[in-house]
Amino acid sequence: MERRVQERQEVSLAVEVINPPHLGKVNLLTRDISKTGAFILLKKEQCLPVGRVVSLRMPGILWGEEQSTVSARVVRVTEEGMGLQFPDFDF
């Protein structure tokens, strides 16, 4: 069952995950993104647990800025990476 509110766009964007202690500061790629979330490509064993909040630095294409820093909550983990939800959106 599809629960997404916003349609995701398949796009490979460089994002910097700033604050997970076990990863340090790392540069990763998105698989897809929308105004309410993104999927980050990452090995499953490196993914954060569901519920963890991270900070991302990314191009500000969704918010009209050159670059944005945004918090996101991990909402799912797969073999390919982790699904993130941006703030103020409850599904």
Are 25 and 17 in contact by the 8 Å Cβ rule? The answer is: yes
Length of the chain: 91
91 residues of the chain, pLDDT tens digit each: 445 455 778 988 889 888 766 666 788 999 999 888 999 999 999 898 999 998 888 876 555 567 778 899 999 999 999 999 998 745 4
The pTM of this model reads 0.78
CATH numbers and ranges of domains, the chain? 9-85 (2.40.10.220)
C-alpha distances (whole Å) from 8 to each of 19, 46, 56, 66 are 25, 23, 18, 20
